[in-house]
């Protein structure tokens, strides 16, 4: 099937993020993961067929497995009063009915390995997001312990790394401590399981929301869009790693000569196909089930 770059549910308020279209049904939301893909803060003009379905199935897998309160209510579209004539085929497999929460405006990032912007900062100052790390680490080195490095949650553009102290100022020290504790625990649960399936989760980000006094995990969780997934059998510190995530797309964009300031180029067919395969491979390894749209 062709890539779905935008969903449609007529007459229902919608907010469109980089990947998800979120429809408001009052006390519930419909999360639709499209096939859009973003890189370097741009949504690319080319979608990845079935990417949204893979992300949805991975999130469903983790919500079912993780020992933490979360927002997922149902995968059944009939649980919502969808308008007559809604294209259910396009929504099938990429939709979650979730609780509506007050979103806490912090990206809860956990890093278990030295990669990306963390590696760049470490090379300059020996720190990651201001946290001092041991000397002598290399690119992709496993950290002595996972670290919590929060960021602001931006509707558009790039999330900005902040200190834990700044996070405390924004949402209060008690809530900040709780989110740090939960984030590190969820990462440990997920990373330990993924390792048994041959995947290293190098880093990830979580989002949380509130319903009254209850704090719950929301949005996606431990997917190749919100995390770095590396194949364990090819892991070699001291260099960049092959991955199951969109690093392959980032690498192609860099090699294409794109300046990261103009509209990004369309992805060639072989990059689209390879990226789709990587996402599906991640799901099948984690869940030990075949992806049925294959």
Domain range summary for the chain, segments of one domain joined by +? 14-100, 103-243
At 153 the pLDDT is 75
Average pLDDT over residues 176-201: 98
Q: Which helix (H) or strand (E) holds 245?
A: none
3-state SS record for 72-95: EEECCHHHCCCCCCCCHHHHCCCE
How far, in Å, CA of 294 to CA of 292, rounded? 5
At 41 the pLDDT is 86
Average pLDDT over residues 68-93: 96
CATH T-level assignment (fold) for domain 103-243? D-amino Acid Aminotransferase; Chain A, domain 1 (3.30.470)
Domains 14-100 and 103-243 share a fold: no
At 247 the pLDDT is 86
Reported confidence tier of residue 1, pLDDT bands at 50, 70, 90:
confident
Mean confidence (pLDDT) of the chain:
95
Average pLDDT over residues 103-114: 97
At 97 the pLDDT is 98
Q: Is the pLDDT of residue 165 over 90?
A: yes
Could you tell me if 202 and 227 are in contact, meaning their C-beta atoms sit under 8 angstroms apart? yes
Reported confidence tier of residue 48, pLDDT bands at 50, 70, 90:
very high
Helix axes 247-256, 269-287, angle to 10 degrees: 160
Reported confidence tier of residue 245, pLDDT bands at 50, 70, 90:
confident
Average pLDDT over residues 141-166: 87
> What confidence tens digit (pLDDT) does each residue in 9-38 have?
999 999 999 999 999 999 999 999 999 999
**Which CATH superfamily groups domain 14-100?**
Phosphorylase Kinase; domain 1 (3.30.200.20)
Question: Cβ neighbours of residue 123 under 8 Å, at least 6 residues apart?
Answer: none
At 155 the pLDDT is 59
- Residues found in the chain: 294
Q: Is the pLDDT of residue 156 over 70?
A: no
pTM of the model: 0.94
Q: Is the pLDDT of residue 60 over 80?
A: yes
């Amino acid at each position: 099937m062709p890539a779905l770059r935008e969903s449609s549910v007529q007459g229902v308020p919608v907010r469109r993020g980089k990947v998800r279209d979120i429809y408001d049904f009052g006390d519930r939301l419909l999360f639709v993961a499209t096939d859009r893909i973003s890189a370097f803060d741009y949504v690319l003009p080319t979608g990845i067929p079935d990417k949204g379905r893979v992300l949805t199935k991975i999130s469903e897998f983790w919500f079912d497995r993780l020992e933490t309160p979360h927002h997922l209510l149902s995968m059944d579209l009939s649980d919502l009063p969808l308008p007559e004539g809604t294209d259910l085929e396009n929504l099938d497999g990429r939709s979650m009915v979730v609780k509506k929460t007050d979103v806490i405006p912090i990206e809860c990032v956990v890093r278990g390995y030295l990669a990306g912007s963390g590696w760049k900062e470490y090379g300059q100052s020996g720190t990651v997001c201001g946290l001092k790390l041991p000397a002598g680490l290399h690119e992709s080195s496993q950290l002595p312990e996972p670290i919590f490095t929060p960021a602001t949650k931006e509707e558009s553009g790039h999330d900005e790394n902040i200190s834990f102290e700044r996070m405390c100022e924004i949402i209060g020290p008690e809530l900040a401590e709780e989110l740090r504790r939960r984030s590190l625990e969820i990462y440990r649960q997920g990373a330990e399981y993924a390792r048994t399936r041959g995947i290293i989760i190098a880093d990830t980000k979580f989002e949380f929301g509130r319903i009254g006094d209850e704090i719950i995990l929301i949005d996606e969780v431990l997917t190749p869009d919100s995390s770095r997934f590396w194949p364990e059998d090819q892991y070699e510190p001291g260099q960049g790693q092959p991955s199951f995530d969109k690093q392959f797309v980032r690498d192609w964009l860099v090699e294409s000569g794109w300046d990261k300031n103009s509209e990004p180029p369309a992805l060639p067919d072989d990059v689209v196909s390879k990226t789709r395969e990587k996402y599906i491979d991640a799901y099948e390894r984690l869940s030990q089930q075949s992806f049925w749209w294959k």
